[in-house]
Amino acid sequence: MRAETASPIMYRGVSIAIKVDEAGDRVFGHADLFANNEFKARVALGSERSRSEEVRDRLRCLAKSKVDVWALTESDAVH
């Protein structure tokens, strides 16, 4: 079974598209990050004990954290 976010999440100008797959008792997913219509990164996660909603929520948090780190490193480079 494949579940996908209805529409990408926009966060700090970065589009985050999350996809989650269930295979038996395992759940796998990834979040693709795009900025300026360009692929920037992928965050992936798998679990045997989590539900797809939990994996989707963790991916959302991890992807936003990645964007936050980019914002911090860019602001450090400017100063």
Q: What is the pLDDT of residues 11-20, one digit of tens each?
A: 999 999 999 9
pLDDT tens digits, residue range 33-75? 999 999 999 999 999 988 999 999 999 999 999 999 998 987 6
Q: Is the confidence at residue 79, as pLDDT, over 70?
A: no
Provide the token pair at 35. 């900025």
Number of domains forming the structure of the chain = 1
Residue 30, pLDDT above cutoff 70: yes
In the chain, pLDDT over 70 holds for what percent of residues?
A: 86
In which domain, by residue range, is 32 found?
A: 2-78
Per-position b or e across 51-65, b if 16+ CB within 10 A of its CB: ebeebbebbbeebbe
